[in-house]
Amino acid sequence: MKKLIASVLAVSAIAVAAPASAQAYYGGGYGGWQNINQRQANLDRRIDMGVRRGDLTRAEAVRLRAEFRQIAHLENRYRYSGGGLSRWERQDLDRRFDRLAARIRFERHDRQDYRRGYYRY
């Protein structure tokens, strides 16, 4: 549990440390334009909410957070490799975030959760 908390804090620190001038994208169902940092925070919040509400099993949350961390590390590599994000890099990150958002949505609604007694430890 301590490792999980430490990893969440590390990802949060990465998201906060990224420049606030990150390019925006239109987040359709999220009410308008969001920059990359806002999108990361939103996805992280959705994973946390799924865990708190029991919509995500531990294994699902671990997999989703691992994918989230991979995207955050990729963003950092993109940012520091060429002095910022190119248009292609932003589009690549948007596609990856779109896939992660879809996976979060699927996993939260797949009816595998703690509340219904599927996974009791």
Among candidate residues 91, 102, 104, the one with its CA nearest the CA of residue 44: 104
Q: What is the DSSP letter of 115?
A: T
In a domain, 117, yes or no: no
Q: What is the pLDDT of residues 36-70, one digit of tens each?
A: 888 889 999 999 999 998 888 889 999 999 999 99
On whether the CB atoms of residues 43 and 100 are closer than 8 A, the answer is yes
Residue 52 lies in a domain: yes
Kind plus residue range of the DSSP H or E element containing 95 = helix 87-108
Task: Report if residue 119 sits inside a domain.
Answer: no
Domain-located, residue 113: no
Residue with tokens 């169902």: 29
95 within some domain = yes
| pTM for the full predicted model | 0.64
State how many domains the chain has: 1
User: How would residue 77 be classed by pLDDT, with cut points 50, 70 and 90?
Assistant: very high
pLDDT, tens digit, for every residue of 14-24? 444 444 334 44
Residue 118 domain-assigned?
A: no
Range of the domain at 14: 2-108
